[in-house]
């Protein structure tokens, strides 16, 4: 059966601005790190794959000296401690319900599960945080049917294809039998490099990114009784009426396996 693989942040829920950003800033405060990212600054940081990597990006020589990080070992230990605390804060925000699931997530997961599809999440975020978002977005029963590939399970993070290649190998699924839902240019490039058809559901931080190579670019997956989906690029001409359905994904798998897109899908 086909596989449906989701990214986490920005795909399952709007997590970046209302979850990760305040969690990073609270962590910096807790550890006495004189850094507070604004929304605009964080819009640049989300282009860096991985939370520890984003934290490491603040470490100028002056800040390293101020924090007394004398060598690589002490720096690595500090990053690990910061990230552990940040994950705790973030999980608390998820569980508080401040980040509702994005439109269509619970619906299409239920459709795929009922049809016997393999379900997975592939994310650069820490596994506890990913599982918390997943459970909040689709419920405990459906979340139990997901394979989760997250955090440091591969050395090279998105836009490298490693996490998707690992997912395909562990799931025992061929690339032509799997479709991905992503929200960022980095995530799209990782999935495409792994040979995967990819639907992009843009988020507030990613709407203006280059999505060339996507099989479909939409504002969200949508729900029949919700706001209609805005189609930003449909290079295969599958058509979306109101919401993205499992039939839409099946059509994309069929067309992606037999033909390359005739035009780019840049939305900026």
How far the first Cα of the chain sits from its last, in Å, is 35
DSSP state of 177: G
CB 34 within 8 A of CB 58: no
Burial 210-231 (b: 16+ CB within 10 A, else e): ebbbbbbbbbbbbbeeeeebee
Measure the CA–CA gap between 236 and 129, rounded to whole angstroms.
34
Pick the catalytic residue: 9, 162, 177, 183? 9
Residue 7 appears among annotated catalytic residues: yes
Question: 11: which residues sit within 8 A by CB, 6+ positions away?
Answer: 102, 105, 181, 182, 183, 201, 203
Measure the CA–CA gap between 257 and 219, rounded to whole angstroms.
24
Say if residue 159 is preceded by a cis peptide, omega within 30 of 0: yes
* CA triple 210-214-217, angle to 5 deg: 80
CB 173 within 8 A of CB 166: no
Radius of gyration, alpha carbons of the chain? 19
Question: 129: which residues sit within 8 A by CB, 6+ positions away?
Answer: 8, 87, 90, 91, 94, 150
Pick the catalytic residue: 7, 183, 223, 234? 7
SS3 251: helix
- State the catalytic residues: 7, 9
């Amino acid at each position: 059966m086909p596989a449906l693989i989701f990214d986490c942040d920005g795909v399952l829920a709007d997590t970046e601005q209302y979850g990760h950003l305040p969690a990073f800033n609270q962590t910096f405060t807790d550890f006495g790190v004189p850094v507070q990212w604004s929304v605009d600054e964080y819009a640049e940081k989300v282009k860096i794959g991985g939370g520890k990597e984003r934290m490491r990006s603040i470490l100028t020589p002056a800040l390293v000296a101020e924090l007394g990080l004398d060598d690589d070992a002490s720096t690595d230990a500090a990053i690990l401690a910061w990230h552990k605390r940040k994950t705790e804060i973030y999980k608390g925000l998820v569980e508080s319900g401040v980040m509702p699931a994005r439109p269509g997530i619970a619906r299409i997961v239920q459709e795929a599960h009922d049809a016997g599809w393999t379900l997975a999440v592939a994310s650069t975020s820490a596994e506890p945080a990913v599982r918390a978002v997943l459970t909040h977005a689709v419920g405990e029963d459906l979340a139990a049917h997901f394979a989760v590939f997250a955090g440091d399970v591969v050395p090279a993070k998105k836009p490298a294809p490693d996490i998707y290649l690992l997912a395909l190998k562990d799931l025992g699924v061929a690339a032509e039998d799997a479709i991905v839902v992503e929200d960022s240019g980095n995530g799209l490039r990782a999935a495409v490099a792994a040979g995967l058809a990819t639907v992009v559901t843009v988020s507030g931080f990613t709407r203006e990114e280059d999505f060339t190579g996507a099989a479909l670019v939409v504002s969200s997956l949508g729900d029949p009784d919700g706001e209609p989906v805005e189609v930003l690029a449909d290079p295969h001409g599958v058509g979306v009426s109101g919401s993205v359905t499992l039939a839409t994904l099946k059509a994309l798998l069929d067309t992606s396996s037999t033909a390359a897109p005739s035009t780019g899908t840049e939305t900026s």
